[in-house]
Every structure is written in C-alpha cells, then in structure tokens.
Amino acid sequence: MPAGTLYRGREGMWSWVAHRVTGVLIFFFLFVHVLDTALVRVSPEAYDDVVATYKTPIVACLEYGLVAAILFHALNGLRVIAVDFWSKGPRYQKQMLWTVVGVWVVLMAGAVYPVLGHAAAELFGK
Amino acid sequence: MSADTSSSAIGEVQGASLYDVDNPAPYIEAPRKRTSKTPRSTRGNFEMAAWLFMRLSGIVLVVLVIGHLLIQLVLDGGVSKIGFAFVAGRWASPFWQVWDLLMLWLAMLHGANGLRTVINDYAERANTRLWLKGLLYTATVFTILLGTLVIFTFDPNIR
C-alpha cells in the first residue's frame, strides 16, 4: 500500500467505491428519466415513442444494470446506516457487506426473468 | 558546545521549575475547546443536516424505489405494459401522485447531495468546484420543478 493514502482496500473501501459509482450512475439515469416522463405533457404519441426504446433488448439489458445498481446502492445504504447508528455496526461491517452481496445476488437472479424475459422473447421468439 | 563542568544534562531553564505548590502554573485550555468566551460558530450545522438527510431519505427511498421498480419492471408484464395509458391510470390516484412526487423530491435531493460530495472530493481547483456545483444545482432545480409540474398538470385527455 502506498504511503500517505486514505485508501485501505478490502470490503470497507471497495463497498464505498461501488456505492459512489452506483450512486452517480443512478443520478444520471434519474435526470434522463424525469425528462422522458415529462413527454406525457407533450403528447401520448411522443411518450409512447420514447418508451418504445425502453422495450428494446439492448435497453432491457441496461435496465437490468440499472436494477443491479439500485439494489446494491439500497442494500449497502442500509448497511451504512447500520454502521453509523448500530453500536456493533462497525464491528460487523464486513459480515454485513457479504450479507448485502448475498441478498443482492438472490434478488438479481430473481430479476432476470421479469426484466429480461420480454427482451429474450423478442430476440428468440416465445 | 563548550566543555561543561555540570554533570546535569538538563539546562538551567529546563531544569528549574518556575512553578510549585504555592505558585501553580496557569491553567491552559485545550485547543478548540468551547468555552463561554468562544464566539458562536458561524458555520451552522449544514453538513450534519446533510449527513442525516442522506440516511433518513435513504430509508424512505428504499421503500419508494423498490416499490416503483416492482410496479414498472416486474409485475403485470414488466416494461412491456408501460405507455401513456398506464401512466394515466396510475396518476388518476392521488396515492400514486404523492408516491411519485415524494420519490422525485427525495431522490433528486439525495442524488444532488451525493454528487456535491463527489465534486468536493475530486475537483481540486476552487473554480472547477464552483462551476460543477453550479451546473449540478441548476440541473437539480430544473429537474425537480419540471417533474413536479408534470405530476400536477398531467392531463389524461391531452388528445
């Protein structure tokens, strides 16, 4: 480890990095998402045209990535709250991170069919 | 240093105590300790409030956003059902209007404060920070106002 750095590696630092990266990605999506939803004030056709792009297979994969980012940020955010407010939180921060990762993997497996099923049906037929 | 006949290694000033039981040393306050003479802080508690807001809004957003994802991407055909008619159906109910409005405000403020922290961490020049945060605040105010306007003025019979 280089001297004079605050970066300590392992679970603590990498969960912090992942929390930042997912947070920034979600914020940029949110900005675009409010703009696309604002099209309901233009016309039903304008809105439906843009939403049609959300239903294409490529964007469905991006949606799966968005779900991945949001679920990690949400679960790890709860872990951060536990570290800050629960007296034993700092002691169990590593165990809590691996719990977050475990729950995240299960939820992401569960999200495969609902989020990507439509795209798969379009690509490969029913 | 010239030859010193004294056997003591401690110099005169260091060795002789200026104070004793009858003449005690003056008490020196610990640095930065708040006393009655300390002027009131002019900084306020903004950073602490922001820190607390991130945690409180985060808990609410977990519920609001995961519910939103379930409705939009998982239940009832997932993304394929979404369209103007679906939006009109949901915003006919004040419950979902309030849900979406609260989600918009909390998520935008939570995200804007997060990006503010990221800018403060990585933009080293004061001018860069100023411009990036100016852009961030402009985009945030614009997005919150636009989203709020859309929810309140939504017209299902626009055609």
A14-61 pLDDT, tens digit each: 999 999 999 999 999 999 999 999 999 998 999 999 999 888 889 989
Residue of B nearest to A112 (CA): B74
- How far away is chain A from the Cα of B33, in angstroms, using its nearest Cα? 25
The structure tokens 């233009």 sit at A42
CB atoms within 10 A of CB B67: 12
Cα B109 to Cα B104: distance, rounded to the nearest angstrom = 8
- How far away is chain B from the Cα of A47, in angstroms, using its nearest Cα? 6
- How far away is chain B from the Cα of A35, in angstroms, using its nearest Cα? 8
CATH assignment, A11-124: 1.20.1300.10
pLDDT of residue B50: 95
Cα B145 to Cα B143: distance, rounded to the nearest angstrom = 5
Long-range contacts of B47-52 (CB under 8 A, 24+ apart): B50/B113
Average pLDDT of chain B is 86
CATH assignment, B46-153: 1.20.1300.10
Return the HEC string of A24-92: HHHHHHHHHHHHHHHHHHCCHHHHHHHHHHHCCHHHHHHHHHHHHHHHHHHHHHHHHHHHHHCCCCCCC
Q: Is the pLDDT of residue A126 over 80?
A: no
pLDDT of residue A2: 56
> What would the pLDDT profile of B47-83 be if each residue is shown by its tens digit?
999 999 999 999 999 999 999 999 888 887 777 778 8
- How far away is chain A from the Cα of B81, in angstroms, using its nearest Cα? 9
pLDDT of residue B11: 56
Please state the separation of Cα B28 from the chain's center in Å: 36
B72 touches chain A (CB under 8 A): no
Cα B159 to Cα B157: distance, rounded to the nearest angstrom = 5
B49 touches chain A (CB under 8 A): no
CB atoms within 10 A of CB B57: 20
A33 touches chain B (CB under 8 A): no
Q: SS3 helix, strand, coil % of chain A, rounded to 5?
A: 85, 0, 15
Cα B55 to Cα A53: distance, rounded to the nearest angstrom = 34
- How far away is chain A from the Cα of B18, in angstroms, using its nearest Cα? 41
B63 touches chain A (CB under 8 A): no
Select from A40, A42, A58 the residue whose CB has the most chain B CBs within 10 Å, as the one to mutate to test that interface: A40
Select from A27, A43, A53 the residue whose CB has the most chain B CBs within 10 Å, as the one to mutate to test that interface: A27
A77 touches chain B (CB under 8 A): yes
Domains of chain B, by residue range, sit at 46-153
Q: Is the pLDDT of residue B1 over 50?
A: no
Q: Which residue among A41, A67, A81 places its CB closest to the CB of B55?
A: A81
pLDDT of residue A122: 76
Query: Binning pLDDT at 50, 70 and 90, where does residue B15 land?
Result: low
Q: Which residue among A67, A74, A77 places its CB closest to the CB of B73?
A: A67
A37 touches chain B (CB under 8 A): yes
